[in-house]
Amino acid sequence: MAKVSPLMLAPPLIFGAFVLLAAVGMFREDPQSLPSAREGQPAPALVMTEFPGAPGFDDATLRDGEVKLVNFWASWCAPCRAEHPSLEKLAAEGIPIYGVNYKDKVENAQGFLDELGNPFRALGRDEQGRTGLDWGVYGVPETYVIKGDGTIVLRFAGPITSRVIDSTIRPALEKAAQ
């Protein structure tokens, strides 16, 4: 009888592990969502530089008792351009939105806002990406719903659309207001 090498079992075991991992990923509750370790925790410290000609904000602003959005964006980001009308809509409804310009040149960022409008109550610049790293940002746009005490209620990665406002952002804002 032929001797079976333990190495012959490796390919089927590796294939089986891959199938199991794929099945778990496909059947989780929302395969598009990216979990955030920051949800339910206080917002990390803001280490930003001034955005010329715009009011700034800081950690105290995040803990001022008001529910708000913090949006990481950049002029070089095509999805940021796509989500901009949705941010304008939310700002027009009176929802405070604080903008963090992420790894961008100030003149490009200012041109972006001059062209599309400025939905932000206040702005800061994260030139090196340190604040984004602390917040868990892996790409822009990313938007956080913040409770009045500075606790992160929701992290939404990707552009905000009308559908996202209705299905995700508004429920998170209502939860944060409670």
DSSP secondary structure letters along 79-133: HHHHHHHHHHHHHHTT--EEEEEES--HHHHHHHHHHH----SEEEEESSSHHHH
pLDDT over threshold 90, residue 32:
no
33-80 pLDDT tens trace? 555 568 899 999 999 999 999 999 999 999 999 999 999 999 999 999
Q: What angle is formed at CA 25 by the lines to CA 23 and CA 29, rounded to 5 degrees?
A: 110
94-105 pLDDT tens trace? 999 999 999 999
Alpha carbon 31 to chain centroid, angstroms: 17
113-169 pLDDT tens trace? 999 999 999 999 999 999 999 999 989 999 999 999 999 999 999 999 999 999 999
Q: Which residues contact 34 (CB under 8 A, 6 or more apart)?
A: 138, 155, 157
The mean pLDDT of 7-12, rounded to a whole number, is 76
Output the pTM of the full model. 0.81
